[in-house]
Structure 1
């Protein structure tokens, strides 16, 4: 736990005492390296228990602080709203991480979250496979969208245009524009996108769309060895779709709560 800033000790009584104490609690939480319990906050700020309780209740109500699943205090939704407006993908990753972790536990495979930046599809988060034979870290690797299930999601639901020429990575890579469009239409009909050996031999992927209030926000998917995923595309596609639906609902609810379109 990081120590409180040098200036953050309980102030002497004054007309601004309540504001000062509230600011002290918020600053202590924001400067901490990890969520703080009630007792830790009280000790760190040197405030009476009743005052700490009253202030924290007001700060939660205003959205300046909130509690995590363990009941400890973290920065509240107003901070996340600021993050959305200035770096929305960090907030998306934060909200999607529990879903990705659950998918990883259920499937054992590598889990991916990708967004669109212009004509590129960029992976912003990954949960590694539990198997010894899993996928590499793709977060720093640029992958042609037509070679990945994540990229096909943006063709199918995000309005990404097919850019020519289409690079051939393997013999299974779809390089004919009309064949790719047919593949994309199949993605829409069944609700998920797939690739089999199209980026690398022996590597398959399945991905689904994550929607915000009005548009596609991200692609959520898994990848793994083709033999291990073979025959499981429908099962995994349905499961991913359910998780994506829950995540989409969370994102829409958060946007409504914070007044974000």
Structure 2
């Protein structure tokens, strides 16, 4: 068999593994996938490792296989969030112009937080494309928004700690959620990377539920004395964006509006 035929056959097998996982009603174990594919154990292992490495598949906490981050990224960049990004873009550009920092818009997908739009910082220091980088939600101000406003369940137990400043466990994250709701915005300082700070606020949909998080990030020395200022500014923009997502208020008949004025 020629190299081209061998390569095509390997590609077909890999595609079959991906399709099996994507169409499954629940995560699939290694044994399930080997049985379904009919491949040798070594071949199955080698292909699954390659598919994990490229982001097409990944494993959950139990070690079973689910669709990888590339599927989430694609879904987040297309409907139903396309309209959200379109409506948010002017606000994001205004925030970027006013602050000079990187501006982010994220949504939750399952148990993930996925960034769907970004406006780059005008500074060289702090400019980075975060749309293709997956970070633990508790290390991100954007992720903390979804926890604080109950759009995501707070994870149980110990948490991944990329830096010594990262929240260590569920109890610490829950306390942080209370402080976040009280002030109106989430903050991370050196919790994902030393020297990186973020501020984010919730964006509400038509039913008052949190559908997105709007935030800025930049070097800690530039942001640490501006957190309250940035939080209030982001809240103003998020309130306006939430109003756009809700659409115009329903029209009241003149008789009803006049009666309400008399009561008032």
**Structure 1 residue 145 corresponds to structure 2 residue 137:** yes
**Structure 1 residue 212 corresponds to structure 2 residue 205:** yes
**Structure 1 residue 100 corresponds to structure 2 residue 92:** yes
Count of matched residue pairs: 172
Q: Offset of 1:158 from its aligned partner?
A: 3.6
* 1:158-214, Cα deviation, whole Å (9 max, x unpaired): 431122441111010002211110011000000000000000010000000000111
Find runs of 4+ consecutive structure 1 residues off by over 2 angstroms. Answer: 254-257
TM-score w.r.t. structure 1 length?
0.63
Give me the whole-angstrom Cα distance separating, in 2, the residues matched to 1:135 and 1:163: 30
Counterpart among 124, 127, 130 of residue 135 in structure 1: 127
Secondary structure of 1:224's aligned partner: strand
Structure 1 contact 213–255 (Cα < 8 Å) conserved = no
Give the corresponding residue for 2:181: 188
Structure 1 contact 104–129 (Cα < 8 Å) conserved = yes
Structure 1 contact 207–219 (Cα < 8 Å) conserved = yes
Structure 2 contact 151–210 (Cα < 8 Å) conserved = no
Give the corresponding residue for 1:230: 224
Give me the whole-angstrom Cα distance separating, in 2, the residues matched to 1:255 and 1:169: 45
RMSD: 1.7
Specify every segment of 5 or more residues in structure 1 that has no aligned partner in the other structure, as ranges: 1-85
